[in-house]
A and B are shown apart, each in its own frame.
Chain A
Amino acid sequence: MSIKLEHVNYIYSPGTAYEKKALSDICLEIPHGEFVGIIGHTGSGKSTLTQHLNGLIRATSGEVFYNGENIYAEGYDMRKLRSQVGLVFQYPEHQLFEVDVLTDVCFGPKNQGLTPEECEKRATEALRLVGLKEKYWKSSPFELSGGQKRRAAIAGVLAMRPGVLVLDEPTAGLDPKGRDEILDQIAYLHRQSDMTVILVSHSMEDIAKYADRIIVMNKGKILYNDTPKQVFSHYQELEKIGLAAPQVTYIMHDIREAGFDVGVTATTVEEAADEIMEAVKKRRGSV
């Protein structure tokens, strides 16, 4: 169970004045069960890349393999692929449309040709997974708060039981608690179900906290593909392409410059606190 891209190129509007190369020779492998973060400034090719993963966009050249099978091969079941690689778009709540939450979440499984009973079973399971309380299941999706709507929309994708969950900025516009809740829930799902998770985000802090590996996109190419610590150690290069490191990374650099013996690879508050406590102890010990 893996995704593999080989020399993928994608050109928008080829042969016209608006021709634009959006992806350039992308080679990438995402093994099953990984939590991958994708970062890049607006227009760097992140969304174009994610839309290749379930065949929504067809590469201009190059190949995409899902579980070893070429998705562009003749007779390949694209429909099945789309239910296997679940894509949660930005502002997914704009796509809610049914009379109540439960029916909305049933829409995906219904299209997979499952029986009404099975659809409902999967929908209730998905709603539990995203932590949406049962009292809301019969409400109109439009009566829910922003965070609840977003959960309902994510449940709609989870109800198809995808092997890969791709989320394009799932926390945009949510309050801090809402952001943490959604991401914690996704991290929990990831641990429970060995589902592959691909998270596209503009929040370096979130990516640092959750991802095992980060892919940095710039001008349609992969600039880095490494662990968060390795990627954020290139913070100056990241700034040049419109990104940044998490705030703690900068703090650690400053503290080191002020003469404390701290490592600078911390990317979360806990790691940073550990490092600083250690350095303060050392300093006190030596006086």
Chain B
Amino acid sequence: MKHNMIQTEKLIFEYEKRDEEGNVIGTSRAIDEVDLGIEEGQFIAILGHNGSGKSTLAKHMNAILVPTGGTMWVDGRNTKDPQELWNVRQSAGMVFQNPDNQIIGTVVEEDVGFGPENLGVPTDEIWKRVEDSLKSVGMIEYRHHSPNKLSGGQKQRVAIAGVIAMEPKCIVLDEPTAMLDPDGRKEVLRTVRELRHRKHVTVILITHYMEEVIYADRIFVMDHGHIVMQGTPREIFSQVDTLKSYRLDVPQVTMLADELRKRGLDIPAGILKKEELVEALCRLN
């Protein structure tokens, strides 16, 4: 049987609340008995409002956090097993929101080589990986540049290359576009979408931008530490009012289609692309 890339069983994560003297005064559950399976090679999006638990869940995927209850397996490895820690981290790479916090090298190619070097990869192989990963994010012509002269989108692509160079089976991106301008967002998204085709990795994208997830295979929506919705983008975005009740939104074209339907036009639910809306309008009598 093919095992899932990410698998959880009744996953719980509790924070301890402490008073000023450091005494525990209670616990708060960020993740509450989540059961989740993500197949290898899928492009998954996780949505949820601030504080819904999505980043906490993401941090479990490479064992930055370990469950306080239940279990998480990454590529079949239990993240609670200290012996597996480095294997888990190598299986699942993370990309965070702020590119400036993730870049350490003074030259782009050095930065990308940092990860594999730490894994003890032989030098020849490091250079091969650096070249290959910079190519796959479209940044090879910047290999000798200084990272601090790059735009936000370019920095974020270098950060992604740094993760790819470690050859993880799975990449978790926690709001990678939150600090970028429209062009930067487009660049990063294109890179993310191409990754799974070129590198056959599982991609898990956490975002607050609804337009970014319409190409996902599957979307999970989180609220109060639970997974409250899951399905294809079309299934999820056809439920405009439910999404709004979870403090989320739909892409602008979906919103427009929904508004037109409310005003009496015969337009199907779950429209995700502008071409679909144009087609639906043309079909009206």
- Point out residues on A near B: beta carbons under 8 Å: 40-43, 145-147, 172-179, 202, 204-205, 242-244, 246-248, 250-251, 254-255, 258-260, 269-270, 272-273, 276-277, 280, 284, 287
Contact = CB atoms under 8 A, between A and B. Distances in A.
A173 B184 contact: no
Contact of A175 (B248, B253, B259): B248
A246 B260 contact: no
Contacts of A270: 259
A258 B281 contact: yes
B208 A176 contact: yes
Nearest to B178: A173
Interface-central residue, A177, A258, A259, A277, by most chain B CB under 10 Å? A177
A244 B182 contact: yes
A193 B49 CA distance: 30
Contacts of B249: 176-177
B181 A205 contact: no
Given A42-B152, A269-B256, 19 more contacts: A41-B182, A42-B180, A146-B51, A172-B179, A173-B175, A173-B178, A176-B248, A177-B249, A179-B208, A202-B180, A242-B181, A242-B184, A248-B253, A255-B277, A258-B281, A258-B282, A269-B252, A276-B265, A280-B284
B275 interface: yes
Interface-central residue, A147, A242, A248, by most chain B CB under 10 Å? A242
7 contacts: A40-B181, A42-B152, A42-B153, A173-B50, A176-B49, A202-B180, A254-B274
Interface in B160-177: 175
A174 B256 contact: no
A176 B248 CA distance: 5
Contacts of A251: 252-253, 256, 274, 277-278
A247 B251 contact: yes
Contacts of B123: none
Interface string B82-126: 000000000000000100000000000000000000000000000
A280 B278 CA distance: 12
Given A145-B50, A251-B253, A277 B260 contact: yes
Contacts of B252: 205, 246-248, 251, 269
Nearest to B249: A176
B247 interface: yes
A202 B51 contact: no
Interface-central residue, A173, A176, A205, by most chain B CB under 10 Å? A176
A41 B50 contact: no
A42 B184 contact: yes
Contact of A247 (B50, B52, B152, B211): B211
A174 B184 CA distance: 18
B67 interface: no
B239 interface: no
B39 interface: no
A251 B252 CA distance: 9
